[in-house]
Structure formats: structure tokens, C-alpha cells
Amino acid sequence: MPVSIASSGMLPVWQPVRGADRTLVEQLEAELVGRIEAHMLRPGSRLPSVRKMAESAGLSRYTVIEAYERLQARGLILSRPGAGYFVRPPVDLPVVAEAVVQEQTEPSRLDVTWLLREMFGTGTSVKLTAASGVLPQHWLDADLVAGAIRASARTDVEGLLHYGHPQGSPQLRKHIATMLGTQGIAAHPDHHLMTTAGVTHAIDLVLRLMVQPGDTVLVEDPGWPLIFGRLAAYGARIISVPRRREGPDLEVLERLAAEHRPKLFLINSVVHNPTGYTLGAAAAHDVLRLAEKHDFMILEDDTYADFHDGTAIRLASMDRLQRVILVTGYAKTLAAGLRVGVLSARPDLVARLIDLKLLAGLSTPQLGENVMTRLLREGHYGRHLLRLRQKVNQARQKCVDVLTACGLNVPYLPPAGIFVWADCGQDSEAVARAASEAGMLLAPGTLFSSTQAPSTMLRFTVSAVEQAELWPALASLLGRS
């Protein structure tokens, strides 16, 4: 019979339950956590030694050691060499931290930072959301990603212990070059490609390289709001070009280019955020013609392009990566947590961008690149895309139907993508603010304007169709229930 803890005069009797769902380590850890939180073990008090705890509970010493190490990792106990394990005194957190968070959740103006805080769960309490820029987890293939991670951990361990190649995994670049080739983009894996920690990182590197304070940069209106904030941080002069169904307003683009001599034009060619528009062939030719005529570079954001069936035209394919820098990634279609992005450009730019990447963060994480290499090499990513596109396409039509039933007008049904751009017929920022107070997250059109111009438009993510309670609440909010 094992000696009970109580017999040592230190703790009440406790024995693990053999054959339970939780391991013996987990049971001992939970028991000690409970006693610490209930002040049965007070700060500064000494825990039984590993030997005594093992004898008392009928456990091996290895089990006790692992449980104690887990408690150390949680900051609940500490080890004093030669003296044993002791309950750690609690750390008093500063009260001001909570006050700062509360102040941030009540902005005077809804901006991109507000939207990002709400999307990432650091803002006010959101019960219903139609504004996320990503799909819900259950729409993606967690098992596919988890399997690739396990396989990479078994076969690529040595690579995980070292920094990766500054330009990115050579194997991954080869597979990406092949994929780009199917889209008509001739990119040599050693000269035209580099990996980044997502599209945002890629764009940030380009802006660091190319934009100086006071430089003029043209952006689309509407466009991706995060880029407006990044450009402002670099001191750029931001000028908007209206985005139409076939592409940017070419008359306005030519006039602004002639007047302001921009350094860069940022364009979301395929599956535009937030409208879902895709660039037409004629417009693409004209954009490149104007870039040549007025000597500006083009940063082509391909973030959502994998939701398209592959027949879309990209500026990078027509330009052969001379004036165009292409950025893309896998956060929206596969797993945002992998943080794998791709940048394609002419060799001299890639070389300079790699130097910036080295200075900013050395290299990108090996694990994500190894996982993407495996998924591309074995064909899993392509099959996953086919399934995901079908689900998204079906949801998009349903989303339009429910929006119409709520009284909104959808001026254009895009053939691809996860967004629907809808007109609510009233000030969308006021609607979004009222929705936020009711626990709903909406993305008002004002966020997608570099000047935050008033708008009646709202951006909806098609996966919102699964939230049946959202639509009556939205109709009521708009006064159309």
C-alpha cells in the first residue's frame, strides 16, 4: 500500500484514478493547481519532495517530475536547488493595463485598427460577425495541415533547428515557380522569388525599399484598409484611384500619374478586396502602358486570387516581372498561422529585398515553409482548393440572397472570392457602430477608402450565411424587419 500524503502531515490524501481519460501527469497537475488556487498550499509553502510524492500517490518519480515541471512552466511553483519545490507568490498585475484596453475599445472613429481588434478578438465582445477577412476554421482543412506538420516534424527535424535560407526554402520556391508558370508568370525560383512571413510582410518589405517620406503612392478606392495605414506610417502621400468592375478608372489613373509622378501603384487585380472585381485584359494592358509612360512601379496583391478558377489575367504575367512586383500567400485559403507568403519580382529587386528581410528578421520560419512544400509537392493543396472554391461559390449566392431579403442592394455578384459588396442605403459607419453596440461586427465602406469618405457600402464575408441569427438582427438594425 502506498503511503498517503496525509501521513506525512503535509497534504490531504490523494490518489490518481487509473484508466481515466486524463494521464497520471495531468491528474497530479490538476490536483496541485486546485490546492494552490484554494490556498490549501499557500505562497512560499514547500511541496512534498519528488520521492515522497511518488510514494504517497503510488506514482513513478518521472511522473511527479513532469507534473512539477508543468507547474513551473505555468508560473505556479519554483524550484530551489537543494531545497525542493515551493509555491510561487502571485504577481500583482498593474491596474492601468485594463484601463488602457477599455479606452482602446471605444474609438471616436471606426478605422482599420478597430476592425482588426474586433476580428482578432481583442476589442469589445462580438457575438455575430459578417466582417472577417478570413474563413472560419471549420471551412478549412485542419486535418490536412496537421498531417503535414506531423510529417514535417518527423522528416525535417534538422532543418527546424536552424535558421532557414534568407530567400526561402529552395524546394518551396521550385514548387511555387511551377504554380506561377501555370498562371503564365515566368519566375525563376533562384532569381525571381523569395518567401516572406505572409503577404503583409511582403508588402511591408516593398514599401521599406521603395517609398520615402513625401513620395506619392496610388491606391485603389475602395481598397485594402491595412495598406493605407502602412503607407501613412512611411510618410507617403496617398492618392486614390477609383476601382471599377474591369479595373481602375483609367482616365483618372492617367491624370493622377501625369500630375503627381507616383513612385508606386498598389492594385488588387484578381478577386479584389472588398468588391470581388477581377481585372479585365484591356484594362490590364492600359495599366501597364501608363506605368511605362509615367515611370511608376506596380505592386500587385494576389492575396485572394486562389479563390479564382485560374483563368484570370495578372499584370505580372503580361509584364514578365519588369515593373510589376507580385505578392501572394496561403493565409486565406489554408492556414493563417503558417505565415507563408511569396514575393515575385525582377532579380535586382529580389536581391535588395532579401537584404532587407535579413536585417528585419533574418529568415522566415522553416516549419511553415516545410509544410507548404509538402502540400504543394504531393498535390494536396490543389485538391483542397477545388473543394474550398466549390463551398465558397455556393455560399456566395446564398449570401447575396439573404442580403437582398434584408433589403440591401448587391450591385455586382462576383464569380469568385469570399466577399460580397452590398449597399445598405444609409451611412454604413453609423450602421456598423450601432451593430457593434448590439454585438455584431460589420465592415463599413468608409474603412476601404484612404480618406475614410462616407459610404453606404458594407463588406460581407460569405461564410456569414451560417449565422442564421445575424440576418434578422441586421434587418432590424436597418429598419427593414
CATH of the domain at 74: 1.10.10.10
Task: Please indicate, yes or no, if residue 466 is contained in any of the structural domains.
Answer: yes
Ramachandran quadrant class, 439 (left: phi over 0; alpha: psi -120 to 50; beta: rest): left
Residues 153 and 288 occupy one common structural domain = yes
Percent of the chain with pLDDT over 90: 54
Instruction: Write down the pLDDT at residue 337.
Output: 82
Residues 130 and 252 occupy one common structural domain = no
Residues 154 and 172 occupy one common structural domain = yes
Q: Is 95 helix (H, G, I), strand (E, B) or coil?
A: coil
Residues 301 and 354 occupy one common structural domain = yes
Q: How many other C-beta atoms are found inside a 10 Å radius of the C-beta of residue 310?
A: 13
Give 14's pLDDT tier (boundaries 50, 70, 90). confident
Residues 275 and 126 occupy one common structural domain = no
Question: Last residue of some domain: 362, 380, 398?
Answer: 380
Strand partners, 458: 422, 444
Task: Please indicate, yes or no, if residue 1 is contained in any of the structural domains.
Answer: no
User: Lowest-pLDDT range, 158-167, 181-190, 332-341, 467-476?
Assistant: 158-167
Instruction: Write down the pLDDT at residue 305.
Output: 93
Predicted confidence (pLDDT) at residue 103 exceeds the cutoff of 70: no
CATH of the domain at 242: 3.40.640.10
pLDDT tens per residue across span 143-177: 898 888 888 888 877 767 778 889 999 999 999 99
What is the domain count for the chain? 3
Give 379's pLDDT tier (boundaries 50, 70, 90). confident
Task: Please indicate, yes or no, if residue 93 is contained in any of the structural domains.
Answer: no
Instruction: Write down the pLDDT at residue 114.
Output: 64
User: Lowest-pLDDT range, 33-37, 333-337, 390-394?
Assistant: 333-337
Predicted confidence (pLDDT) at residue 403 exceeds the cutoff of 60: yes
- Region 93-122: what's the mean pLDDT? 56
Residues 271 and 170 occupy one common structural domain = yes
CATH of the domain at 442: 3.90.1150.10
Task: Please indicate, yes or no, if residue 413 is contained in any of the structural domains.
Answer: yes
Whether the model clears a pTM of 0.95, i.e. scores above it, the answer is: no
Predicted confidence (pLDDT) at residue 481 exceeds the cutoff of 60: no
Instruction: Write down the pLDDT at residue 15.
Output: 84
Instruction: Write down the pLDDT at residue 111.
Output: 63
DSSP 135: -
- Region 54-83: what's the mean pLDDT? 90
State how far the Cα of 421 lies from the Cα of 221, in Å rounded to an integer.
Answer: 13
Residues 76 and 113 occupy one common structural domain = no
Instruction: Write down the pLDDT at residue 364.
Output: 86
Residues 365 and 387 occupy one common structural domain = no
Q: In terms of residue numbers, what domain contains 55?
A: 6-87
Instruction: Write down the pLDDT at residue 108.
Output: 55
Are 332 and 304 a contacting pair, CB within 8 Å? yes
Cell numbers standing for residue 248: 481602375
Task: Please indicate, yes or no, if residue 158 is contained in any of the structural domains.
Answer: yes
Q: What phi and psi, each to the nearest 5 degrees, are found at residue 47?
A: -80, 160
Q: Is 36 helix (H, G, I), strand (E, B) or coil?
A: helix
State how far the alpha carbon of 67 is from the alpha carbons of 71, 225, 405, in Å: 6, 47, 56
CB neighbour list of residue 399: distance below 8 Å, 6 or more residues apart: 420, 460, 462, 464, 465
pLDDT tens per residue across span 219-229: 999 999 889 98
Task: Please indicate, yes or no, if residue 316 is contained in any of the structural domains.
Answer: yes
Percent of the chain with pLDDT over 70: 89
State how far the Cα of 162 lies from the Cα of 205, in Å rounded to an integer.
Answer: 23
Q: Is 325 helix (H, G, I), strand (E, B) or coil?
A: strand
With 0-12 / 13-18 / 19 or more C-beta atoms within 10 angstroms meaning exposed / middle / buried, residue 142 is exposed
Question: Last residue of some domain: 336, 359, 380?
Answer: 380
Instruction: Write down the pLDDT at residue 20.
Output: 80
Are 80 and 86 a contacting pair, CB within 8 Å? yes
Residues 188 and 303 occupy one common structural domain = yes
Task: Please indicate, yes or no, if residue 275 is contained in any of the structural domains.
Answer: yes
pLDDT tens per residue across span 250-294: 999 999 999 999 999 999 999 999 999 999 999 999 999 999 999
Residues 64 and 211 occupy one common structural domain = no
Mean pLDDT of the chain: 87
Are 185 and 344 a contacting pair, CB within 8 Å? yes
Q: Is 467 helix (H, G, I), strand (E, B) or coil?
A: coil
Give 400's pLDDT tier (boundaries 50, 70, 90). very high
CA angle, corner 316, sides to 313 and 318, nearest 5? 65
Question: Last residue of some domain: 364, 380, 396?
Answer: 380
Residues 286 and 160 occupy one common structural domain = yes
State how far the Cα of 24 lies from the Cα of 54, in Å rounded to an integer.
Answer: 11
Task: Please indicate, yes or no, if residue 92 is contained in any of the structural domains.
Answer: no
Alpha helix positions (H), 333-427: 347-361, 366-377, 380-405
Q: What phi and psi, each to the nearest 5 degrees, are found at residue 123?
A: -100, -145
DSSP 222: S
Extract long-range pairs of 405-413: CB within 8 Å, 24+ residues apart: 405/471, 405/475, 406/471, 406/474, 406/475, 406/478, 406/480, 407/475, 407/478, 407/480, 408/458, 408/478, 412/245, 412/275, 412/276, 412/277
Residues 299 and 433 occupy one common structural domain = no
Are 212 and 235 a contacting pair, CB within 8 Å? yes
- The amino acid that residue 66 corresponds to is E
Cell numbers standing for residue 99: 484601463
- Region 32-42: what's the mean pLDDT? 89
